[in-house]
Amino acid sequence: MTAAPSTAATSAAAPAGTAAAGGTAPAVSATAGTFTAGKPAVPAPRSPTGPGIGFAAVSKTFDAGRRGALRALDQVSFEVGGGEFVSLLGPSGCGKSTALRMVAGLEAPTGGEVRVLGRPPAEVVSEHRLGIAFQDHALLPWLDVRGNIALPFRAVGRRVDRDLVDELIELVGLTASAGLRPRELSGGMRQRVSIARSLVLRPDVLLLDEPFGALDAVTRRRLNLELQRIWAQRRITTLMVTHAVDEAVLLSDRVVVMSARPARVVDVVTVPFDRPRGLELLTDPAFHELEDRLTRALLTTAPGAAATEAAEADGPAATRAGATDADLEESS
Ligand SMILES: Nc1ncnc2c1ncn2[C@@H]1O[C@H](COP(=O)(O)OP(=O)(O)OP(=O)(O)O)[C@@H](O)[C@H]1O
């Protein structure tokens, strides 16, 4: 995972838990493929409304210095409808965090266009309508839970809405720990602070980059359900990067499966299970069927295959761009 921006780095232009202003993008029209899993056991999720997040033929090539060009994303197109919860699933290093960083305005595409709420990301970010929570939660050690959650208000120069801070503390189940500092909290509690903080400016869009990656299985599952509850209450357009197929199925309306780098969209799968989803769903055969389908889709995106395909399609330059990190290091 690409490291989350440090609190210090984001505090001036954008508060911790919100995205920093950044890239611009050229105009291209949006397209997205969808696939509905066969034989849904329960009714399909509600229809998303309004514009959420749009990727239209988005490519990203990094200048990796001596290592040459590194192509992370290749013509990626998908959409997250307003109020929808979508997960990005893909092999390690394929470009998921890069995609998320583009939505947060922290990276600009080198091709195609990213839109948020129908507008360039930087505009939405500058209005503090975008919340972010990463795996390394970047809490300030000298502030207690309440102070960390309220931090975005101070960072944007707004008066702290104490009622909202208390509401969020309650929402993530930390009322009894509101006066504790990060070193006194467990990993799961810190993650809850991070999620509460990402919500404090009432964002319209929430970005989660492996928010539960470092947690034990039980805590992770508890927080999965908590996140589902928070999302159901607020219906924030949510894009989550995860490695966990079961987590993606449990939480999402749709799952976008990406190939190995350079990332392409290989499938967009609708999750047909009704909400709220409980842990009993994890033992449902239909859940396992969908999990298997997604796992198979991931397995077909072996790293070597993507590099070869890119080379065949685009010639010698792409061979270098599509090469693995090890290949690039070897040739430098
Ligand atoms: N600023 C940068 N400069 C050069 N290369 C970069 C930069 N940011 C990311 N990369 C490279 O782009 C590729 C995709 O990185 P990214 O973090 O988006 O992958 P990921 O799918 O989120 O990985 P993981 O699943 O392991 O978290 C990696 O090879 C990474 O080294």
pLDDT, tens digit, 9 for 90 and up, residues 67-121: 789 999 999 999 999 999 999 999 989 999 999 999 999 999 999 999 999 999 9
Q: Assess whether the C-beta atom of 5 lies below 6 angstroms from ligand 1.
A: no
Indicate which atom in ligand 1 lies nearest the CA of residue 210.
27
Q: What is the pLDDT of residue 19?
A: 47
Residue nearest (by alpha carbon) to ligand 1 atom 27: 1
CA of 112 to the centre of ligand 1 (A): 19
1 within a domain of the structure (yes/no): no
54 within a domain of the structure (yes/no): yes
Q: How many residues does the chain have?
A: 332
Residue nearest (by alpha carbon) to ligand 1 atom 18: 95
214 within a domain of the structure (yes/no): yes
- Which of 98, 135, 136, 301, when mutated, tests ligand 1's pocket best, judged by the most ligand atoms within 8 Å of its CB? 98
Which letter, b or e, does each residue of 203-237 get, where b requires 16 or more Cβ atoms within 10 Å of its Cβ?
bbbbbbbbbbbebeeebbbbbbebbbebbeeeebb
2 within a domain of the structure (yes/no): no
Residue 237, domain extent: 7-331
How many domains does the structure of the chain reveal? 1
Q: What is the pLDDT of residue 173?
A: 87
Q: Report pTM.
A: 0.79
Please check whether residue 300 is in contact with residue 266, taking contact to mean a CB–CB distance below 8 angstroms: yes
Q: Where are the beta strands (DSSP E) in the chain?
A: 35-36, 53-63, 69-80, 85-89, 111-116, 130-134, 205-209, 237-242, 254-258, 265-270
Q: What is the CATH number of the domain that holds 320?
A: 3.40.50.300
167 within a domain of the structure (yes/no): yes
Q: What is the pLDDT of residue 283?
A: 95
Q: Assess whether the C-beta atom of 251 lies below 6 angstroms from ligand 1.
A: no
Low-confidence ranges of the chain (pLDDT < 70): 1-49, 136-137, 302-332
CA of 210 to the centre of ligand 1 (A): 14
Residue nearest (by alpha carbon) to ligand 1 atom 31: 93
